[in-house]
Structure 1
Amino acid sequence: MDWASLAGLAIGLIGILSGQALEGGQIDSLIQPAAFVIVVIGTMGAVLLQSGMATFLRGAKMLRWIFIAPPDKTRGIEKEITLWSATARREGLLSLERYVQSVQDAFTVKGLRLIVDGIDPYKIREILDVDISTYERRERQAVKIWEAAGGYAPTIGILGAVLGLIQVMENLTDPSRLGGGIAVAFVATVYGVGLANLVFLPISNKLKTIVADEVRRREMLTDVFCSVANGDNARVIEERILAYR
């Protein structure tokens, strides 16, 4: 569990609600289902229209990474790399076949398989670089749904405010209905700006960092695979790994 994400969200909400209370306002006045529906559903529709269903669903699945970070695949990888290098130098590249079956990461399996198949190191780099580029483009497209939501939400909030004011204007002769319309008008703007800056944009930026970390890990492994295929000394491989810390 990523407690920093939970703490950040809680602190942001507490700050807003505390400010509302200190100004003499009622917390209940910020609870407007109509405004929430306008902003959230409207923003979701705009993002879906922009991204398409596949990208939208992939981005939505990434949300779990905010609170439950993906496993750190770099832990213990240095020992494995040292073992691969020593085995390859001692027994030949074909000896790495034994490690292909025990590795769970698809990218690592692909790299080891290319080495075992005797592919030229330059070709290995070319193939894995294309793999990394494809992965990064796909993941960043999915992350962009949260960035897009952060851009659309404030505008949808303004739209909600206009709808609320229209309701107010239509009911000027009925004072009992004016309060609800005005509340929806202003609270919709609060929801739009608040969700954009406290939820959507922070989620986008955090997911970008997670994707960048995975891309860096794959780039490191690409360097390692090329070094192993070249038969480089273990010290050279170690220096390559250190460069990515």
Structure 2
Amino acid sequence: MDKSSFGGIILAAAGILAGLLIEGGRVGQILQPTAALIVIGGTLGAVMLQFPLATVGSAFKRLAGVFLHGGGADEASLRQILAYADKARRNGIVSLDADLPGVRDRFLKQALTLAVDGTEPTELRKIMELALDNQVEIDEKIPAVFESAGGFSPTIGIIGAVLGLIQVMQHLDHIDEVGRGIAVAFVATIYGVAAANLLFLPCAGKLRIRIREEHLQKEMMLEGVISILEGLNPRIIEIKLQSFLSERSRKSEIAPAGTVA
């Protein structure tokens, strides 16, 4: 669980609701299902018009990564690579062929397969960097979906407010309800602005960080496999790959290479 994401959204919601209550407002005043329907439906429709359906679906699947993040993945990958390096140094690079079925990461498995098959380090790097570049192109569209949603939702909120004002103006004969109607109409604007600045845009930023971490992890895997193929000492490989880890990960002690994960 990402404490920063959960804490941030709770703090933001609590601050806004506290301000509303301090000013004498009520939570029920901003609970308008019609306004929410206009903002959510309009924003989602605009996003689907801009992006392919598969991209939108992938973006919402990745949304869980904003709030749930498995820490220590880069350290686990480093330990795994060091175990492979130790085995390859003792038994040769071909001995890793037996471990290939158990490799879960597709990128690492492909790099190790090429290494076991005798691919030259330079050629292996070209092949895997091309695959990584293609993956970057795909992954960059994920946060772009939420950035677009953050741009659309305030405008959709204004549309909802205008629609509400139209309904109010049609009932000016009940002047005592005009003020209440105007207040309700502007709830859509609140929903649009809040969705953009408290959900869509922050999620886009967090997903960019997550995706960059994943790419760094793959770069570390590639560098590790090439180092194994070049026959470097596992200790040298460890020092070399630790530069890819975050400051927090570098401070933690990396367990010595043992069995292959």
- Band the TM-score falls in, shorter-chain normalisation: over 0.9
Q: Give distance in 1, aligned partners of 2:157 and 2:116.
A: 57
Match of 2:12 in 1: 12
- Does residue 1:55 correspond to 2:41, yes or no? no
String of CA shifts for 1:20-69, please: whole Å, max 9, x gaps.
11112222111111111111110111111111100000001111112222
Identity %: 39
Alignment of 1:25-44 (within 5 A): 25-44=25-44
Q: Give distance in 1, aligned partners of 2:75 and 2:158.
A: 47
TM-score normalised to the size of structure 1? Answer: 0.93
Unaligned runs of 5+ in 1: none
| Shift, 1:179, TM fit | 4.6
Q: Give distance in 2, aligned partners of 1:220 and 1:237.
A: 10
Contact 1:139 1:211 in 2 (8 A): yes
Q: Secondary structure at the match of 1:232?
A: coil
Contact 2:157 2:193 in 1 (8 A): yes
Match of 1:225 in 2: 225
Distance 1:184 1:49, change over 3 A: farther
Match of 1:207 in 2: 207
String of CA shifts for 1:113-147, please: whole Å, max 9, x gaps.
01001111111111111121122221221221111
Match of 1:153 in 2: 153
Alignment of 1:1-245 (within 5 A): 1-70=1-70, 72-175=72-175, 178-179=178-179, 181-245=181-245
Q: Give distance in 2, aligned partners of 1:18 and 1:71.
A: 33
Contact 1:224 1:237 in 2 (8 A): yes
Contact 1:66 1:207 in 2 (8 A): yes
* Further displaced range: 82-91 or 164-173: 82-91
TM-score normalised to the size of structure 2? Answer: 0.88
String of CA shifts for 1:142-198, please: whole Å, max 9, x gaps.
221111111111111111111112122222123365355413321111111111111
Amino acid at match of 2:69: A
Q: Give distance in 2, aligned partners of 1:70 and 1:239.
A: 24
Distance 1:54 1:72, change over 3 A: farther
Amino acid at match of 1:2: D
Contact 1:35 1:160 in 2 (8 A): yes
Give the total of aligned pairs.
245
